[in-house]
Amino acid sequence: MITAVILAPAAIAAELWAPGWLFAGLLWAVAALAQWEFYGLFAAARPYRVWGVAASAALAVALSQPPPQRAGAVLAVLVLAGVAMLFRSLRETDARGAALGWLGVFYPALLLGLLIPARTAAHGRWWILVLFGVVWLGDTAAYYAGRRWGRRKMAPRLSPKKTWVGAWASLAAAVIAGAALSWALVGAAGHAARPAAAMLAMGAALGAVLNVAAQAGDLVESGFKRSAGVKDSGRLLPGHGGILDRIDALLLAAPVLWWFLAVRL
């Protein structure tokens, strides 16, 4: 509990007030720690940890570029990282290490890194706060509702503690949080020229989609841990496991928000 109380305000403060270069650096640091834990889950396969983390650093720089150069820079990093790991795997006859090393550049580095361009979009800082609120409140609702009323397991082979009651409670909380936060942080604050009803409807829909992605992200990480035969991805956060355990829901929700900001009218 103490860890969560410290980390949540720190994440909000960094997102709102850190300059762009610092925000990208902090986000990369979090992604790199999570990436290192991901590689640790499959340490027996000797993933290319150093190469992968170095590639994620280059990826953070690429994602920080202006839109005209960003796509080419990101593609170049991914291609160069893939080629480098491929040649090393051929030399060491170890394709598994290269495959896991390259996967770590996507998960979690690229997925979380998409918050860098999302933050530079119109009102992006406020929309990222909406994302945080939807994910955190949805997770809290799932935890308490699942403990109190949950009986039927949602995915017992992947995550034995998750229930359908918890999943539906999470979705309901996310819809309410999405509507309320979108209206309060973006609409009512004067950051969007949309009627209140439109902001509430758009926020509710966004909250629902973000929640589905967040719950899927949680299950994906549970699947990785189940494959590795461990309960937590690490022990960095007392009482909470590892960094990857704390950001797993964000990893699939962040690309959804980035896409929303890229295509919304």
Per DSSP, the three-state class of 159 is strand
At CA 35, angle to CA 80 and CA 252, rounded to 5?
Answer: 95
Averaged confidence pLDDT in the chain: 88
Q: Which of 73, 53, 67, 60 is nearest to 24 (CA)?
A: 60
Round to whole Å and give the CA distance between 149 and 128.
31
Residue 101 confidence (pLDDT) above 70: yes
Confidence category of residue 265, pLDDT binned at 50, 70, 90: very low
The CA R_g of the chain, rounded to the nearest whole Å, is 19
Residue 55 confidence (pLDDT) above 80: yes
What are the backbone dihedrals phi and psi of residue 220, each rounded to the nearest 5 degrees, phi first?
Answer: -60, -50
The stretch 135-147 carries a mean pLDDT of: 92
**DSSP class of 160:** E
Round to whole Å and give the CA distance between 167 and 245.
18
Round to whole Å and give the CA distance between 51 and 98.
9
The stretch 128-142 carries a mean pLDDT of: 95
Under 8 Å CB-to-CB from 87, ≥6 apart: which residues? none
Q: 204 near 175, Cβ under 8 Å?
A: yes
State the pLDDT at residue 131: 97
Residue predicted with more confidence, 4 or 157:
157
Give the number of other Cβ atoms within 10 Å of residue 42's Cβ: 18
Residue predicted with more confidence, 172 or 95:
172
State the pLDDT at residue 217: 94
Tokens of 118: 């999302």
Chain centroid to CA 62: 18
Q: Please tell me the pTM assigned to this model.
A: 0.91
Tens of pLDDT along 149-199?
878 888 888 887 888 999 999 999 999 999 999 999 887 666 666 788 888
Residue 252 confidence (pLDDT) above 80: yes
Confidence category of residue 5, pLDDT binned at 50, 70, 90: low
User: What is the end-to-end Cα distance of the chain in Å, rounded?
Assistant: 39
Per DSSP, the three-state class of 162 is strand
**DSSP class of 241:** B
